[in-house]
Chains A and B, each alone.
Chain A
Amino acid sequence: MTTIDKTAEVPAPRAGDGKGTPLLEVRDLHVEFHTRDGVAKAVNGVNYSVDAGETLAVLGESGSGKSVTAQAIMGILDMPPGKIPQGEILFRGQDMLKMSAEERRKIRGSKIAMIFQDALSSLNPVLSVGYQLGEMFRVHQGLSKKDAKVKAIELMDRVRIPAAKERVGDYPHQFSGGMRQRIMIAMALALEPDLIIADEPTTALDVTVQAQVMDLLAELQREFNMGLILITHDLGVVADVADKIAVMYAGRIVETAPVGELYKRPAHPYTRGLLDSIPRLDQKGQELYAIKGLPPNLLSIPSGCAFNPRCPKAQDVCRTETPALLDVTERDGAALPGRRSACHFWKETIHG
């Protein structure tokens, strides 16, 4: 009886949104850095994909290769010393690694944008925020200085910076940390890109501001139906906004899962360790769990499973054979969509 017109709430489908091909797909990506001490293998065969409107959280310690993967997608790796010996990065089905530098530049900022961790150092200290925001329109859309400024003010309003009109001429150091991160977000959003990569967007902020910034990001993502790759080591942030999670260790993805599943039943000992090391109120007074040891040296990654020296469940096979990222199933063999684990003993980890 009641016909509610819901079309207004559904984001308009984007032009060229081919069914079947994901917005971004990373296939068997390898990145290495040639240093004086040897070859550091930062990324060793990463696969993941993001669809429009979807949020992928990439989780991992420092040095796990999560940021390097993102930089490879953006095309902002320093090459040399960085090198991509193998792999594909497909954006709307096209391999960006095969594109010319100019083609890639045009994608950067307008189709794929990035939000960096430390907004203070990531914004140019001697240019006004209005100029830095307006630059996006001037370069990519050829707008005049004046029109670009109007657009910059609109953007600042959009990310809810109070008194945008008065503050458009201010410099980054004149803003608070949360406001600066909003400017970074505004800059990434300027041209309404299809995909945003947020590299630890809230790490430099205090907790209350973190929540505001994440909410804003999630809201804008919904509004524009963008794909979002959220790189973080904060499990709390992930739980709120992500659709699916990829856990990285030593340049490999060790587990992927839809967000709720991962927290309930991790299928990799490393993920389990990460979850156990979150401080919890109901375990007040007990000693906090910590994963023993240190992340591996990327110049000499342990043979077999890279996690084996730190793993409480490591067996002989873990030291010799590198586990593949395989589908995880229920005890009775029923498929668990989206769940994969790179552990020889995933069955024991998830079920027992």
Chain B
Amino acid sequence: MGRFVARRLLQMIPVFIGTTLLIFLMVYSLPGDPIKALFGSKAADPATVARLRHQYGLDKPLLTQYWDYLTGLFKGDFGQSFTGRPVADLMSDAFPVTIRLALLSFAIEVVLGVSLGMLTGLKRGKLVDQLVLILTLVVVSIPVFVIGFLTQFTLGMKWKLITPTVQDSMNVGQLFVPAMVLAALSLAYVTRLTRTTVVENLRADFMRTAVAKGLPRRRVLGVHLMRNSLIPVVTFLGTDLGMLMGGAIVTEGIFNVQGVGNTLFKSIQTSEGPTVVGIVTVLVLVYLVSSLVVDLLYAVLDPRIRYA
């Protein structure tokens, strides 16, 4: 186990360097000059431009810039955005919002998805099962922005149950509807996945044994069925949490949630190189760690899997 974790952590280094380099190169090869853009429609003073370029290190070769950035990172310095604010500052504004949103939709996904999956799995072929099946198919086949705008229009404008956009991004109550929209797709997947594994495990020999042992139905389902059925679901949920943490550009955009997705989108629009690279770097790390946790969790849940 220890060796496995060590190996996985070591593997993260090349992945980390590779992804950041790639993002760095892509962002800085975008058309348009971010420094000139700072002047807006005014004519840029060449001396000032040169000074700013030097200040942000943009006059150095790209690889040197990357190297400076990496060394800065290891000192905990994410650099400065072109507006003068430290990138770390920007992120400490955006991440708490996204973490709230992500955890909220994760909770919805887990609770609703797993219970619906269990229900439909146990009632296979019955009316509930058919209804939920149709519903999940609908959700899966509709793009998220359609669901987002529809919810915003019906709940926010027609029925006025919520404000159309989120006023306070740190308010969990206001984040609930965006979280629902964000969770919808994964919720459908979790439901289907849970249903499939439940149906499969219901037929398993060990379930028959559990009944033959005279265990109460609650225990047969709650311990013997659940414990086996949740293994693939947990794997999916783990990677999904990584995705949710990456922020939801579309959902955050629709509901004006000031989270990572929104910040990232704005930064790309304004060619804010340091901000984009900084955020993506953190996201890469989050994703790497969450997939490692999933792998470890997998071994905990299924004793047949042992890492050496």
Contact = CB atoms under 8 A, between A and B. Distances in A.
B303 A125 contact: yes
Given A171-B303, A173-B304, A122 B208 contact: yes
A122 B208 CA distance: 8
A76 B214 CA distance: 10
A74 interface: yes
Interface string B153-194: 000000000000000000000000000000000000000000
Contacts of B216: 105, 139
B206 interface: yes
Given A118-B205, A139-B215, A139-B219, A124 B210 contact: yes
Nearest to A139: B215
B205 A187 contact: no
Contacts of B208: 76, 116, 122
B228 A126 contact: yes
A140 B206 contact: no
Given A121-B204, A126-B228, A139 B214 contact: yes
A127 interface: yes
Contacts, number: 74
Interface string A226-268: 0000000000000000000000000000000000000000000
A124 B212 contact: no
B204 A74 contact: no
Interface in B197-250: 204-206, 208-216, 219, 223-224, 227-228, 231
Interface in B260-291: none
Contact of A126 (B205, B211, B213, B302): B302
Interface in A86-134: 105-110, 113-114, 116, 118, 121-128
Given A105-B216, A118-B205, A173-B304, A124 B211 contact: no
A124 B224 contact: yes
A113 B215 CA distance: 12
Contacts of A116: 205, 208-209, 212
A32 interface: no
A185 interface: no
A113 B227 contact: no
Interface string A171-194: 101000000000000010000000
7 contacts: A74-B212, A125-B206, A126-B301, A127-B223, A139-B214, A187-B209, A187-B213
Interface of B: 204-206, 208-216, 219, 223-224, 227-228, 231, 301-304
